[in-house]
Chain A
């Protein structure tokens, strides 16, 4: 049975179901919430089955559970799904975080619960689709579809600045991705030039040797789209706004999954499709990454708003991910993939907890809190665990990813590690500083004296996250092993290539892109 399609279809069908239910007066809100939750849980179970059925051995086919049906035959566009270890893990992350996000919205979202649940489910479906598609066209479709529900989530249920934040998020991301679309079309057309028929099939395009002057621009287009999504310095400024303005579940998904789409795109598309250009640009990417690490940390350190602080910390952490990808060796890539998961869990959790606080106090300013440890010890403990996870304490999930990235990067180019390491120090600075200001010391505000501690529902939200934080730190191989074959494949693909000469690309800017007859399929070239 087509389990991948099922994964995508379940939330969509669920949302249609909810759409059918009438809820004009909001009397059915609880039903809506429950319905959405149940649907997302079912999806999660389905994805667990996926994991169970996945064959992590290196001998196994690169992509499993493959489904392909012709979609737009004239352009060789297919409905082509399949997953390898990396996408498996990211899908798991998605299906795992969505129910949690829904739960975290339980009290925060009062208005238009129906629409909210529908958008959340659509969002889940689209994100799963992004991680599963092996056809560039299909991928782009999902990539763009993701924007819409998130736009509504921020725009309708966000805080006061929501309109600005939502439109900024949408336009910024889109501006990047349309250029990528041009590049996608161009690549497909080169394939047509080389072999006589269009193809958006990723695996076919891997074999395509794109001429340098085009590869240069195509890679930049892809990289830009993904760098904005990651977000990589200096394309990060949409993130704080979006995060701060988004409702808690929105932030959880945004930080937890959506940022990963960018990094995933880098290692699945941008690098393997344009290896020469990628290798040529890797140092630049890495430079931006380390800047992002330190810069994000420093800016996070001085934020007065908890959500903003965590948002900038995401910039810093995702910088690590990009650094790992740029290193392009097994440790680097695997660390990057792992860091994605780790960051998704811990930062998602942090946003959830911050959301709980702002649900109680309707403020996110650090200065409005203080001494909460005395009032809500359990929440404090949970927050501490998540904090330690995100500062990369050994034995927590954050450490594994960061360490592997540093190791991989060190093997590639130690200088980057020397700078990136500072991020490790600074992360401790800003996280612990926030922790101290919010939780320790005497209770400074009388309003905070009688906040109630975690409710059962909130335990259900943060419990799994904390558990996972520790599990991922203690037994990382559980998650590393499935990813390894995929990662090695990518690395092998890159190893055989030589970095291109960058000037070629620059010149093509002035001379205009000549007719790219140089495009050829390496397989063909072999014979």
Chain B
């Protein structure tokens, strides 16, 4: 099948087929019949993963608008991992919350298709479509528990602001089109390289609006306000999925657009991103300090992490690109694990995501507490975990580009963030609650997922060399 004109799209095809089958399965499912639809998703994702691996280094491209360079494939693989973890944690929570299984998986897979496409597309229009595909699926996933007002409210806010922002994004595309006469990145880039930005006010508008579009998706300040609400309202599993997958995809597209087509204008968009990144890191961590809901807390933390990722883009050098990829991978495993724990501790009635619900977890469920601790330490950037390597990598990118200021801001904000990560640890280990509700039993599958994620976190933390090498290969082929 390879070496055909359609290689580049194979991963997406796999996933979308899985999604369609999931829908069909749901359609044919008798009421109350249990069907391993998650299995379909796994098959599709694994297929996509295998395809991505096979496409490695082949720099395939289809339709002239979809590329399968290593950069995209790396992101694809991260997304596959995201998907797989999500599936692992979903199986239990879906049943518990009585969610529509088929639709859930289908939407999740469609979202992943959109994400993959964002990473792979080399055409702004396509990026827009991908972004919309992803977004629409995720809007719905957010509001999946429609019996809960919060879920719907979250979906509503996410949707409205998303639509609002994506129209800005679209407007930006329009101006790019107006300036260059094309939406295709290479050609646009070539055309832009010809002219300087200040001479062309429409280009200014274009860049500004594109920044807005992407910044919104990765929840950068001041476009972040939807994320805490959306993350809190959505089912924990979905939150994990959003916070990692959407970010990854958006950043991939962000990097591709700004570091290839808009690369000539680097001097022009850097200051804006600098400010946004700084604000994002600071606000994300500082506001996180006063949160009591775990989901919300981690929502702010993921805002902050978005800021760290922006730093990688600002560095705009090879170290930066590679570090971004590494960061995405590390962050994906860590955050999914953390939200997995939250999801598994919830019950149908209560999300159990308040800080106090974790009091004395170390007694009632030591293993879970231990895993959670490792994940939180990784989020806080303590060695020897993935989070530390990721932060170090990103900030060395910043330093190597001379952005000491950003590095220092980021480091200090990460110290602040440690405070609220440790509040959870304090709850779990250092404060006992007399009437401790026994946490719900955790399925072997989910537990396995957690263990795997923790192991991954430790592996990336102790032996990051291989992953770093891959990341570097990924950026070697493009830009």
Please give the residue numbers on chain A whose beta carbons come within 8 Å of chain B beta carbons, in ascending order. Answer: 24, 70-75, 137, 140-142, 144-145, 147-148, 151-152, 155-156, 162-163, 166-167, 170-171, 174-175, 178-179, 181-182, 185-186, 188-189, 192, 513, 515
Bound-state CA distance A395–B431 (Å) is 47
Assuming A72-B468, A73-B465, A167-B422, is B402 touching A148 (CB within 8 A)? no
Q: Contact at A156–B408, with CB atoms within 8 Å?
A: no
Assuming A72-B468, A156-B429, is B415 touching A185 (CB within 8 A)? no
Q: Contact at A74–B472, with CB atoms within 8 Å?
A: yes
Bound-state CA distance A480–B426 (Å) is 43
Which residues from chain B contact A174 at a C-beta distance below 8 Å?
Answer: 415, 418
Interface of chain B residues 425 through 479 with chain A (CB within 8 A): 426, 429-431, 464-465, 468-469, 472
Query: Which residue of chain B has its CB nearest to the CB of A138?
Result: B383
User: B17 at the A/B interface (Cβ < 8 Å)?
Assistant: no
Q: Contact at B429–A515, with CB atoms within 8 Å?
A: no
User: Which single member of A24, A151, A515 contacts B402 (CB below 8 Å)?
Assistant: A515
User: Which single member of A73, A137, A179, A192 contacts B408 (CB below 8 Å)?
Assistant: A179
Assuming A141-B388, A182-B408, is B395 touching A171 (CB within 8 A)? no
Q: Contact at A185–B430, with CB atoms within 8 Å?
A: no
Q: Contact at A189–B418, with CB atoms within 8 Å?
A: no
Q: Closest CB-CB distance, A37 to chain B, in whole Å? A: 23
Given A72-B468, A152-B429, A181-B411, output 20 extra A-B contacts at Cβ < 8 Å: A71-B465, A72-B464, A140-B383, A141-B383, A148-B382, A155-B430, A162-B430, A167-B419, A167-B426, A175-B415, A178-B412, A178-B415, A179-B408, A182-B404, A182-B411, A185-B395, A186-B399, A188-B396, A189-B396, A189-B399
Q: Contact at B388–A178, with CB atoms within 8 Å?
A: no
Centre residue among A140, A142, A151, A181 by max chain B CB count within 10 A: A181
Interface of chain B residues 377 through 415 with chain A (CB within 8 A): 377, 382-384, 388, 392, 395-396, 399-400, 402, 404, 407-408, 411-412, 414-415
Query: Which residue of chain A has its CB nearest to the CB of B471?
Result: A74
User: Which single member of A144, A166, A186 contacts B383 (CB below 8 Å)?
Assistant: A144
Interface of chain B residues 87 through 143 with chain A (CB within 8 A): none
Which residues from chain A contact B465 at a C-beta distance below 8 Å?
Answer: 70-74
User: Which single member of B402, B414, B468 contacts A74 (CB below 8 Å)?
Assistant: B468
Which residues from chain A contact B400 at a C-beta distance below 8 Å?
Answer: 185, 189, 192
Q: Closest CB-CB distance, B49 to chain A, in whole Å? A: 25
Bound-state CA distance A192–B402 (Å) is 13
Bound-state CA distance A106–B431 (Å) is 23
Assuming A144-B388, A148-B382, A513-B402, is B418 touching A185 (CB within 8 A)? no
Q: Contact at B384–A141, with CB atoms within 8 Å?
A: yes
Q: Closest CB-CB distance, A142 to chain B, in whole Å? A: 8
Q: Contact at A178–B411, with CB atoms within 8 Å?
A: yes
Q: Closest CB-CB distance, A515 to chain B, in whole Å? A: 6
Q: Can you name 24 A-B pairs with beta carbons within 8 Å?
A: A24-B366, A72-B465, A74-B469, A74-B472, A140-B383, A141-B383, A144-B388, A147-B382, A148-B377, A151-B422, A152-B429, A155-B430, A167-B419, A174-B418, A179-B408, A179-B411, A179-B412, A181-B395, A181-B411, A182-B404, A182-B411, A188-B396, A189-B396, A192-B400
Bound-state CA distance A513–B400 (Å) is 12
Encode contact with A along B168-196: 1 for CB under 8 Å, 0 otherwise: 00000000000000000000000000000
Bound-state CA distance A156–B362 (Å) is 11
Bound-state CA distance A174–B415 (Å) is 7
Q: Contact at A144–B415, with CB atoms within 8 Å?
A: no
Query: Which residue of chain B has its CB nearest to the CB of A154?
Result: B430
Centre residue among A148, A182, A513 by max chain B CB count within 10 A: A182
Bound-state CA distance A166–B430 (Å) is 11
Q: Contact at B404–A163, with CB atoms within 8 Å?
A: no
Q: Closest CB-CB distance, A453 to chain B, in whole Å? A: 34
Interface SS majority for chain A: helix
Which residues from chain B contact A171 at a C-beta distance below 8 Å?
Answer: 415, 418-419
Which residues from chain B contact A163 at a C-beta distance below 8 Å?
Answer: 426, 430-431
Total number of residue pairs linking A and B with CB closer than 8 Å:
84
Q: Closest CB-CB distance, B388 to chain A, in whole Å? A: 7
Bound-state CA distance A174–B429 (Å) is 21
Which residues from chain A contact B408 at a C-beta distance below 8 Å?
Answer: 179, 182
Query: Which residue of chain A has its CB nearest to the CB of B430?
Result: A155
Query: Which residue of chain A has its CB nearest to the CB of B426?
Result: A163
Bound-state CA distance A144–B384 (Å) is 9
Query: Which residue of chain B has its CB nearest to the CB of A514?
Result: B402
Q: Closest CB-CB distance, B274 to chain A, in whole Å? A: 13
Which residues from chain A contact B468 at a C-beta distance below 8 Å?
Answer: 72, 74
Which residues from chain A contact B429 at a C-beta distance below 8 Å?
Answer: 152, 155-156
Q: Contact at A155–B426, with CB atoms within 8 Å?
A: yes
Bound-state CA distance A104–B400 (Å) is 48
Bound-state CA distance A141–B472 (Å) is 23
Bound-state CA distance A75–B392 (Å) is 11
Q: Closest CB-CB distance, A494 to chain B, in whole Å? A: 26
Bound-state CA distance A75–B411 (Å) is 20
Q: Contact at A185–B388, with CB atoms within 8 Å?
A: no
Interface of chain B residues 337 through 368 with chain A (CB within 8 A): 366
Interface of chain B residues 245 through 298 with chain A (CB within 8 A): none
Q: Closest CB-CB distance, A166 to chain B, in whole Å? A: 8
Which residues from chain A contact B415 at a C-beta distance below 8 Å?
Answer: 171, 174-175, 178
Q: Contact at A513–B382, with CB atoms within 8 Å?
A: no
Which residues from chain A contact B377 at a C-beta distance below 8 Å?
Answer: 148
Which residues from chain B contact A155 at a C-beta distance below 8 Å?
Answer: 426, 429-430
Bound-state CA distance A175–B430 (Å) is 23
Centre residue among A147, A148, A178 by max chain B CB count within 10 A: A178
Query: Which residue of chain B has its CB nearest to the CB of A145?
Result: B383
Q: Closest CB-CB distance, B259 to chain A, in whole Å? A: 20
Interface of chain B residues 141 through 178 with chain A (CB within 8 A): none
Which residues from chain A contact B430 at a C-beta distance below 8 Å?
Answer: 155-156, 162-163, 166
Q: Contact at A175–B399, with CB atoms within 8 Å?
A: no
Q: Closest CB-CB distance, B451 to chain A, in whole Å? A: 14
Which residues from chain A contact B426 at a C-beta distance below 8 Å?
Answer: 155, 163, 167
Q: Closest CB-CB distance, A198 to chain B, in whole Å? A: 8
Q: Contact at A185–B384, with CB atoms within 8 Å?
A: no
Bound-state CA distance A515–B429 (Å) is 47
Which residues from chain A contact B404 at a C-beta distance below 8 Å?
Answer: 182, 186, 513
Which residues from chain B contact A182 at a C-beta distance below 8 Å?
Answer: 395, 399, 404, 407-408, 411
Which residues from chain A contact B464 at a C-beta distance below 8 Å?
Answer: 72
Q: Closest CB-CB distance, B395 to chain A, in whole Å? A: 6
Q: Contact at B399–A185, with CB atoms within 8 Å?
A: yes
Q: Contact at A75–B418, with CB atoms within 8 Å?
A: no
Bound-state CA distance A137–B384 (Å) is 11
Q: Contact at B396–A75, with CB atoms within 8 Å?
A: yes
Which residues from chain B contact A24 at a C-beta distance below 8 Å?
Answer: 366
Bound-state CA distance A420–B383 (Å) is 38
Q: Closest CB-CB distance, B322 to chain A, in whole Å? A: 8
Q: Contact at A185–B392, with CB atoms within 8 Å?
A: yes
Q: Closest CB-CB distance, B360 to chain A, in whole Å? A: 12
Q: Contact at B422–A185, with CB atoms within 8 Å?
A: no
Which residues from chain B contact A513 at a C-beta distance below 8 Å?
Answer: 402, 404
Bound-state CA distance A459–B388 (Å) is 43
Q: Closest CB-CB distance, A195 to chain B, in whole Å? A: 14
Q: Contact at B402–A178, with CB atoms within 8 Å?
A: no
Query: Which residue of chain B has its CB nearest to the CB of A193?
Result: B400
Q: Closest CB-CB distance, A129 to chain B, in whole Å? A: 10
Query: Which residue of chain A has its CB nearest to the CB of B389?
Result: A72
Q: Contact at A170–B395, with CB atoms within 8 Å?
A: no
Bound-state CA distance A379–B339 (Å) is 53
Which residues from chain B contact A151 at a C-beta distance below 8 Å?
Answer: 422
Query: Which residue of chain A has its CB nearest to the CB of B423?
Result: A167
Centre residue among A140, A144, A166, A515 by max chain B CB count within 10 A: A144
Which residues from chain B contact A137 at a C-beta distance below 8 Å?
Answer: 392
Query: Which residue of chain A has its CB nearest to the CB of B411?
Result: A178
Q: Closest CB-CB distance, A468 to chain B, in whole Å? A: 33
Bound-state CA distance A147–B468 (Å) is 26
Bound-state CA distance A145–B468 (Å) is 22
